[in-house]
Amino acid sequence: MKKLSKTEAEEEIKEFFEKIQTKTPKKIKKIKRLAMRHNIKLGELRKKFCKKCFSPRLKIIGVKNKIKRIKCEYCKNVARWKMK
Ligand SMILES: [Zn+2]
């Protein structure tokens, strides 16, 4: 990957996440590294992929007490996100 400025990296990350469903875990891992290298916070974008296997194939399995439970269809890891 070529050297990017922080703004270019941010742009690349934004575009990447718009099409995250078409991305492979390998590419997601790479974009996460890019963000880290440029000190870019992913924030809400972190919820778009599994933190264990980096798969974008997540399924909402339930919402209870304002906690959203999301299951990764690939590794079956369940993540919980507080809703605002
Ligand atoms: Zn997973």
CA of residue 58 to ligand 1 center, whole Å: 8
CA of 56 to the centre of ligand 1 (A): 8
What pLDDT is stored for residue 3 in this prediction?
Answer: 81
* pLDDT of 83 above 90: no
Query: What confidence tens digit (pLDDT) does each residue in 47-78 have?
Result: 999 999 999 999 999 999 999 999 999 999 99
**Ligand 1 centre from 17 Cα, in Å?**
17
For ligand 1, the distance from its centroid to the CA atom of residue 10, given in whole angstroms, is 25
User: CA 6, CA 29: separation in Å to the nearest integer?
Assistant: 18
Eight-state DSSP code of residue 22: G
Q: How far is the CA of 5 from the centre of ligand 1 (A)?
A: 30
